[in-house]
Amino acid sequence: MVRDEVLRALEAQRGQCISGAALAQTLGVSRAAVWKAIEKLRADGLAIDALAGEGYALRADDDTLTEEAVHAARHAHTLGSALTVLPETDSTNSLMKRAYADAPHGFTLIACRQTAGRGRLGRTFCSPDGGLYLSVLLRPKLPLAQLNLVTLAAAVAVCRALERLTPLAPAIKWVNDVLVDERKLCGILTEAAIEGETGAIDFVVVGIGVNLRLDRNALPPDVQSIACALADLTREVPRRAVLAAAILDELDALYALLEHGQSDLLLAEYRTRLCVLGRTVRVCAPQGVYDARVQDLDANGHLLVCTPDGAQHTLSSGEISIRL
């Protein structure tokens, strides 16, 4: 489609003017076709300036989330090389499992909002406009016991991307909440399909939700008190496409560590960002709720905690909350 080709060309020189004649020549279409494509793109909400005698420019700060915008910002070898951006879906994780379970490793779904966003432990994940909602399909060749490491990689990838694009210093609350100033900026939901006969991992869907600009009133009161958004913390809020691309790039690199048997490097980096080491936390485990002090992280990313009676526990899943 000429529209998509024009958009790719504008993305490649975002913020700079390209003449209609040059676009027409490069794409092998008429200037009228270029003009029509520009009108379509504008109707889709893209901020494209037309400068008399000079041509067209996609504004540097245009935050429209498109496949072209993500591709233009992305460097990853594999993750996100095939991707689909949707204005709305129920849940990118649910849609991935429902409709894209046969997609290749690295296929990515991104939505501008979710109507039935899902969180860990069966919770809902409020997903209004102004957030980034992204799911990546992975086909890890890892033993099931190491599945947890994929989740850890996603949390580190989000931290690295935020550190690269903003002045913030995010931290990780085990397992995979990304916090700034102890408030949740990002949640991650990892889901897996296991082959019944062999017990091998068929695919994993890593779902990542980041709050960029949130209308606080769109959030339920209990979420308002624990969540934060990038726009509340810094003026340097990246475009959603740029953040998505950075997360994909970082996850690509971290996932390569896992595939090359270098999970120790991932764990070391995860540990440096873990904000619960040495602190007392409240553990919500299937056996009950209790307070414990966090001692360490083991080689599978499980949390080692110690209760006041001196008993040690290894947490492989469940939930902890930080006791201030």
Chain positions contacting ligand BTN, by CB under 6 A:
91-93, 114, 117-120, 123, 125, 133-135, 187-189, 207-209
Rounded least distance, CB 259 to ligand BTN, Å: 23
Q: Among residues 64 and 92, whose Cβ is nearest to ligand BTN? A: 92
Q: For residue 14, what is the DSSP state?
A: T
CB nearer to ligand BTN: pick between 18 and 109: 109
Q: Going by DSSP bridges, is the β-strand pair 177-180/171-173 parallel, antiparallel, or unpaired?
A: antiparallel
- 4/191 with CB nearer ligand BTN: 191
* Burial degree of 14 (CB within 10 A; 0-12, 13-18, 19+): middle
Of the candidates 7, 85, 68, the one whose C-alpha atom is nearest the C-alpha of residue 43 is 7
Q: How far is the CB of 34 from ligand BTN (least distance, A)?
A: 36
Choice between 16 and 317, CB closer to ligand BTN? 317
Closest distance to ligand BTN from the beta carbon of 186 (Å): 8
Q: Does residue 83 contact residue 109 with C-beta atoms inside 8 Å? A: yes
Q: How far is CA 169 from CA 75, 156, 185, 275, 320, in A?
A: 23, 12, 12, 11, 21
Q: How far is the CB of 19 from ligand BTN (least distance, A)?
A: 40
- Cα dihedral 313, 317, 318, 322, rounded to 10, equals 70
- Secondary element (H or E) of residue 183: strand 183-194
- Taking CA atoms, 180 is separated from 102, 229, 315, in Å, by 36, 9, 24
Least distance CB 96 / ligand BTN (angstroms): 8
> Which CB atom, from 46 or from 179, has the smaller least distance to ligand BTN?
179
Residue (114 or 148) nearer to ligand BTN, CB = 114
| Nearest-angstrom CA–CA distance, 154 and 157 | 5
Could you tell me the smallest distance in angstroms from the CB atom of residue 291 to ligand BTN?
22
Closest approach, Cβ 206 to ligand BTN, in A, equals 8
Asked whether 245 and 238 are in contact (CB, 8 A), the reply is no
Cβ distance to ligand BTN smaller for residue 31 or 123? 123
- When the beta carbons of 2 and 110 are compared against ligand BTN, the nearer one is 110
At a CB cut-off of 8 Å and minimum separation 6, what does 174 contact?
Answer: 274, 276, 294, 297, 303, 315, 320
Least distance (Å) from ligand BTN to the CB of residue 121?
A: 7
Return the closest-CA partner of residue 241 out of 54, 49, 30, 46. 46
Taking the complex as a whole, the smallest distance from the CB of residue 92 to ligand BTN amounts, in Å, to 4
Residue nearest to ligand BTN (CB): 187
Q: Which residues of 188-199 are buried (b: 16+ CB within 10 A; e: fewer)?
A: bbbbbeeeeeee
Task: Dig out the tokens for 178 from the structure.
Answer: 């990304």
Which residue lies nearer to ligand BTN by CB, 185 or 201? 185
At residue 204, what is the residue type?
V
